[in-house]
Amino acid sequence: MSPSSKVPFSVRDFFKRFPDDEACLTHVMEVRHGMRHVCRKCGKEATFHRMTDRRAFACANCGDHLYPTAGTIFQDTRTPLQLWFYAIYLFVATRHGVSGKELQRTLGVTYKTAYRMGQQIRDLMAKADGFEMLRGHVEMDEAYVGGRRHGGKRGRGAEGKTIVFGMVERGGRLVAEVIPDVKQATLRNAVLRNVKEGATVSSDELVSYGLLEGDGYQHGHVRHGAKEWSYYDYRHGAFHHTNTIESFWHLFKASVRSTHIHVSPKHMARYLREFTFRANHREMKNAMFDLLIGAL
């Protein structure tokens, strides 16, 4: 598959759809309120007209001013709307995301502004993703990300790395979070928070056998330490492996290495949300952009 086949819509399509700030503001108005809607002030269904002197629309009936960006990440920004839209486009159009440096260069804004925009777009992704318990057959695995590139110990508990824990419903959604340690209670709580009772769970030996006992899961685990990568549980008809979640961690680690020089533990949760959002909505292509604008 060529990289371009992953692109939701081309840069050219983007600029055709959003040629200027005006087009972007109108789009936000259409998505959030509609050009014609029941006015919150006069209570009548009315058409709203663009005001020339401010980023607002006025009710044709009572003249009430409506600011479509109020309460969104665009509310107090001095950055042109089109740049915001383009930044959002870049976040969904690229497989690995965009670094602060890249945004700074592409948009011609300061690094501070670019960085802030990135963080706000990641929060928007979390908002658009919503929350839903995982069900069916769920794979889980932890990973160690970031920290020093050279010299550090490898494997579990390596110094300076952030511990992340991911859970993915086979054929469905993925959730991941930063966890403080790999103590049994920590892992168990993460599972209870995210996986619906009755689900079949596949893990490696870290989420040890018996840990989820009594919680209503059907739990199988592969013993990576013994070079066992998968097995079929004939009794329950479940194929246990953690390949799906491992592929996600593989992509995430590679992306963090290539795109972001350093991600502090403090910010890891946001990067995780960005990557889960893309993984969960990969099939949507064009609609991924609209989903984000719709979540403003």
Tell me whether residue 13 or residue 30 sits nearer to Zn ion (CB atom): 30
What spatial distance separates the first Cα and last Cα of the chain, rounded to whole Å?
Answer: 32
Tell whether residue 40 is a contact of Zn ion (CB under 5 A).
no
- Asked if 155 contacts 182 with a C-beta cutoff of 8 angstroms, the reply is no
Tell whether residue 60 is a contact of Zn ion (CB under 5 A).
no
Tell me whether residue 47 or residue 218 sits nearer to Zn ion (CB atom): 47
Pick the piece of the chain touching Zn ion (CB under 5 A) from 55-63, 126-134, 183-191, 224-232.
Answer: 55-63
- Taking alpha carbons only, the member of 208, 96, 210, 200 closest to residue 138 is 200
> If DSSP codes are grouped into helix, strand and coil, which group holds residue 177?
strand
Residue located via tokens 């690094």: 111
Tell me whether residue 35 or residue 42 sits nearer to Zn ion (CB atom): 42
> How far apart are CB 57 and Zn ion at their closest, in Å?
11
Tell me whether residue 51 or residue 269 sits nearer to Zn ion (CB atom): 51
**Residue 45: strand pairing partners:** 38
Using CA atoms, how far apart are residues 204 and 220, in angstroms rounded to an integer? Answer: 8
- Asked if 63 contacts 47 with a C-beta cutoff of 8 angstroms, the reply is no
Pick the piece of the chain touching Zn ion (CB under 5 A) from 13-21, 42-50, 180-188, 226-234.
Answer: 42-50
Token couple for 211: 């840990």
Looking at residue 134, the DSSP 8-state letter turns out to be B
Number of residues forming the site for Zn ion (CB under 5 A):
7
Tell whether residue 11 is a contact of Zn ion (CB under 5 A).
no
> How far apart are CB 36 and Zn ion at their closest, in Å?
11
Tell me whether residue 59 or residue 134 sits nearer to Zn ion (CB atom): 59
- Asked if 85 contacts 11 with a C-beta cutoff of 8 angstroms, the reply is no
Token couple for 192: 């209870």
Between β-strands 137-145 and 200-204, what pairing exists: parallel, antiparallel or unpaired? parallel
Tell whether residue 77 is a contact of Zn ion (CB under 5 A).
no
Tell whether residue 62 is a contact of Zn ion (CB under 5 A).
yes
> How far apart are CB 173 and Zn ion at their closest, in Å?
41
Backbone phi and psi for residue 178, each to the nearest 5 degrees, phi listed first: -85, 135
- Taking alpha carbons only, the member of 215, 222, 237, 44 closest to residue 140 is 222
> How far apart are CB 49 and Zn ion at their closest, in Å?
11
Among 17, 51, 64, 196, binds Zn ion (CB under 5 A): 64
Using CA atoms, how far apart are residues 10 and 93, in angstroms rounded to an integer? Answer: 8
Tell me whether residue 36 or residue 41 sits nearer to Zn ion (CB atom): 41
Between β-strands 218-222 and 231-233, what pairing exists: parallel, antiparallel or unpaired? unpaired
Tell me whether residue 64 or residue 215 sits nearer to Zn ion (CB atom): 64
> How far apart are CB 46 and Zn ion at their closest, in Å?
5
Pick the piece of the chain touching Zn ion (CB under 5 A) from 13-21, 59-67, 75-83, 175-183.
Answer: 59-67
Tell whether residue 39 is a contact of Zn ion (CB under 5 A).
yes
> How far apart are CB 38 and Zn ion at their closest, in Å?
9
Looking at residue 280, the DSSP 8-state letter turns out to be H
Among 35, 42, 254, 287, binds Zn ion (CB under 5 A): 42
Query: Of 93-132, which residues contact Zn ion (CB under 5 A)?
Result: none
The helix (run of H) or strand (run of E) holding residue 186 is helix 184-194
> How far apart are CB 68 and Zn ion at their closest, in Å?
15
Give the interface with Zn ion as residue ranges (CB under 5 A): 39, 41-42, 59, 61-62, 64
